Amino acid sequence: MKDTRFSRYAVFALFYNVFVILLGTVVRATESGAGCGADWPTCRGAVIPSGGTVETAIEFAHRATSGIALVVVAVLVVWAVRTRPRGDTARLMAAISGVLILNEALLGAALVLFEWVADDESIGRVVSTVAHLLNTFLLLGSLTLTAWFADGRPSPRRPFGATPLRAARIGAIALLVVGASGAITALGDTLFPPTSVGAGLFDDLGGTLIVRLRWIHPILATATAGYVWWFARAKDPNGVSGRSLEGAIYIQVMVGVVNIALLAPIWMQVLHLLIADVVWISFVLVATQSLVESERVVS
Burial of 224 (0-12, 13-18, 19+ CB in 10 A): buried
- Residue 193: predicted pLDDT: 85
Rounded distance between C-alpha atoms, residue 48 and residue 209, angstroms: 38
Rounded distance between C-alpha atoms, residue 55 and residue 35, angstroms: 5
Give backbone dihedrals phi and psi of 154, rounded to 5 degrees, phi first.
-70, 150
DSSP 28-80: HHTT-TTTTTT-SSSBTTBSS--S--HHHHHHHHHHHHHHHHHHHHHHHHHHH
Last residue of a domain, one of 153, 183, 198: 153
pLDDT string in tens for the chain (299-residue length): 788 999 999 999 999 999 999 999 999 999 898 899 888 888 988 888 887 789 999 999 999 999 999 999 999 999 999 999 999 999 999 999 999 999 999 999 999 989 898 888 889 999 999 999 999 999 999 999 999 999 999 888 776 677 889 999 999 999 999 999 999 999 988 888 887 877 766 666 666 768 877 888 999 999 999 999 999 999 988 899 999 999 999 999 999 999 999 989 999 999 999 999 999 999 999 999 999 887 555 44
Query: Looking at the structure, do residues 166 and 243 belong to the same domain, yes or no?
Result: yes
Going by C-alpha positions, the residue among 277, 274, 271, 266 that lies closest to residue 26 is 266
Query: Looking at the structure, do residues 200 and 289 belong to the same domain, yes or no?
Result: yes
- Residue 202: predicted pLDDT: 65
196 sits in the region (left: phi over 0; alpha: psi -120 to 50; else beta) called: beta
Query: Looking at the structure, do residues 78 and 140 belong to the same domain, yes or no?
Result: yes
- Residue 299: predicted pLDDT: 47
Give backbone dihedrals phi and psi of 269, rounded to 5 degrees, phi first.
-65, -40
DSSP character at residue 87: T
Q: Mapping DSSP to helix (H, G, I), strand (E, B) and coil, where does residue 202 land?
A: helix
Query: Looking at the structure, do residues 298 and 246 belong to the same domain, yes or no?
Result: yes
The sign of the dihedral angle between the CA atoms of 138, 172, 180, 148 is negative
| Containing structural domain, residue 185 | 156-299
Query: Looking at the structure, do residues 184 and 223 belong to the same domain, yes or no?
Result: yes
DSSP H/E element including 247 = helix 240-261
Query: Looking at the structure, do residues 129 and 197 belong to the same domain, yes or no?
Result: no
